[in-house]
C-alpha cells in the first residue's frame, strides 16, 4: 500500500503522461488512487486544466464525495471511481480518459477483432451504454463492466480502467486506445484482413491476466 504522499505523486505523474499523450483533454478525464487507509481516495479536481496539476489541488474524499483534505471540488466521476474499486478488490489505481479513438470506437459500437495479441487480451472489453456523467447509473454500469474486465469503453464519453496499481490502470487505458487505433487503420486500408488463428486465440486467452 502506498503512502498518501506516494499516491498523490503517482496521480500527478500519470495525469501528466495521459495529458501529454492525448488521453486527457484540457478539463476532461480524471485519475484516482486509494489512500493509505484503503477505504478513501485521492482524486483529481473537477474542471481544472489537466496540463499542470499539482499535489496541492488533489482532493482526498470519502465514498459519498465529502472532502477530507483539499480545497477543490472533486471530480464529478468520484462515484464511478469508487465503483471501479468495488468491482476489482485489491486495486489501488483507476483512470477515466477521453481517449479520442477509443471514444469513437464505442460510439460506432465496435468490438475488438483478434488482430494481434493485445486485441485478444482486450476481447472482454465491454462498451457501457450512455448515462449522464457523474450519475449513479453510470457508476453502476461501469462497476458491472469492470467486474468482467479491467477496462471498459463508455459510449459517447471515453473509457475507464482500473488496476492493481495506477501504472497498470493507465497501461490498460493506453492499450485500449492503441488497439482501437490499429483497428481503425485496418479498416482504412481495406483489403483482406489477417486475424490471429482461432487455435492461437484460445492459447493466448490463457495469458489475459498478463495485461
Residues 75-131: tens digit of each pLDDT:
999 999 999 999 999 999 999 999 999 999 999 999 999 999 999 999 999 999 999
Tens-place pLDDT, residues 62-86: 999 999 999 999 999 999 999 999 9
Domain boundaries, the chain: 4-210
Residue 211: the pLDDT is: 59
3-state secondary structure the chain: CCCHHHHHHHHHHHHHHHHHCCCCCCCCCEEEEECCCCCCEEECECCCCHHHCCHHHCEEECCCCCEEECCCCECCCHHHHHHHHHHCCCCCEEEEECCHHHHHHHHCCCCCCCCCHHHHHCCCCEEECCCCCCCHHHHHHHHHHHCCCCEEEECCCEEEEEECCHHHHHHHHHHHHHHHHHHHHHHHHCCCCCCCCHHHHHHHHCCHHHC
Spatial separation of the C-alpha atoms in residues 69 and 56, rounded to whole Å: 10
Could you tell me which residue, 80 or 209, shows the higher pLDDT?
Answer: 80
Return the pLDDT at 37: 94
Q: Which fold has domain 4-210?
A: L-fuculose-1-phosphate Aldolase (3.40.225)
Task: Report d(CA 63, CA 141) in Å as an integer.
Answer: 17
Question: What pLDDT band is residue 168 in, cutting at 50, 70 and 90?
Answer: very high
Amino acid at each position: 500500500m502506498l503512502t498518501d504522499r506516494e499516491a498523490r505523486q503517482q496521480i500527478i505523474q500519470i495525469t501528466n503522461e495521459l495529458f501529454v499523450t492525448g488521453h486527457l483533454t484540457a478539463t476532461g478525464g480524471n485519475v484516482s488512487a486509494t489512500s493509505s487507509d484503503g477505504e478513501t481516495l485521492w482524486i483529481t479536481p473537477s474542471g481544472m486544466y489537466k496540463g499542470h496539476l499539482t499535489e496541492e489541488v488533489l482532493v482526498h474524499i470519502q465514498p459519498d464525495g465529502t472532502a477530507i483534505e483539499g480545497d477543490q471540488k472533486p471530480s464529478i466521476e468520484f462515484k464511478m471511481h469508487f465503483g471501479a474499486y468495488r468491482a476489482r478488490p485489491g486495486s489501488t489505481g483507476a483512470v477515466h480518459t477521453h481517449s479520442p479513438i477509443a471514444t469513437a470506437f464505442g460510439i460506432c459500437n465496435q468490438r475488438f477483432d483478434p488482430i494481434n495479441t493485445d486485441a485478444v487480451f482486450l476481447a472482454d472489453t465491454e462498451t457501457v451504454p450512455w448515462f449522464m456523467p457523474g450519475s449513479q447509473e453510470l457508476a453502476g454500469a461501469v462497476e458491472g463492466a469492470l467486474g468482467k474486465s479491467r477496462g471498459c469503453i463508455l459510449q459517447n464519453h471515453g473509457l475507464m480502467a482500473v488496476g492493481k496499481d495506477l501504472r497498470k490502470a493507465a497501461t490498460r487505458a493506453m492499450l485500449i486506445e492503441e488497439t482501437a487505433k490499429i483497428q481503425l487503420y485496418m479498416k482504412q486500408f481495406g483489403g483482406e484482413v489477417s486475424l490471429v488463428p482461432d487455435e492461437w486465440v484460445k492459447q493466448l486467452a490463457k495469458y489475459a491476466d498478463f495485461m
